[in-house]
Structure 1
Amino acid sequence: MGLALDEPEKNDRVVTINEIAVAIEAEIEPYTNDLTLDFNQEVNGLVLQGNESDCC
């Protein structure tokens, strides 16, 4: 699973989280429950944390 700053595509679901519009691919939306976006100083970037399923 990845993260990109891009325009939504036609099959994306757009939701508002903390007043920010977020586009989520329909195929992975079920796997995004309980995820948190955080900044990780070790990789000097954004990371998704939580939901330890073996989906991806």
Structure 2
Amino acid sequence: MALDESEESDEIVIINEIKVAIDPMIKENVEGLTLDISGDGQGLSLLGDTGNCC
């Protein structure tokens, strides 16, 4: 996971009014995951079964 500019090959989707760029090589690995902000607002986490991803 990175907070930077999207690559030309990324798939751009809008999730809860937020533009998200997804690398096609890991798209199937991140389906069903939830992006969550920490309780103190200082970080992001992926929630769910990440398996071999990320």
Count residues with an aligned counterpart: 53
**Residue 3 of structure 2: aligned partner:** 5
Structure 1 unpaired stretches of 5+? none
CA distance in structure 2 between the aligned counterparts of 1:20 and 1:51, rounded to whole angstroms: 22
> 2:44 matched to which residue of 1?
46
Q: How far apart, CA to CA, are the structure 1 residues paired with 2:10 and 2:4?
A: 12
Q: When the two structures are superposed, what TM-score results if normalisation uses the length of structure 1?
A: 0.75
TM-score (norm 2): 0.77
**Structure showing the higher strand proportion among its residues:** 1
Q: Which runs of 4+ in 1 moved over 3 A?
A: none
Residue 9 to residue 52, structure 1, CA distance change in 2 (3 Å):
closer
- CA RMSD, Structure 1 to Structure 2 (Å): 1.8
Gaps of 5+ in 2: none
Residue of structure 1 in register with 2:31 after alignment: 33
The 1:40–1:54 alpha-carbon spacing in structure 2 relative to 1, beyond 3 Å, is same
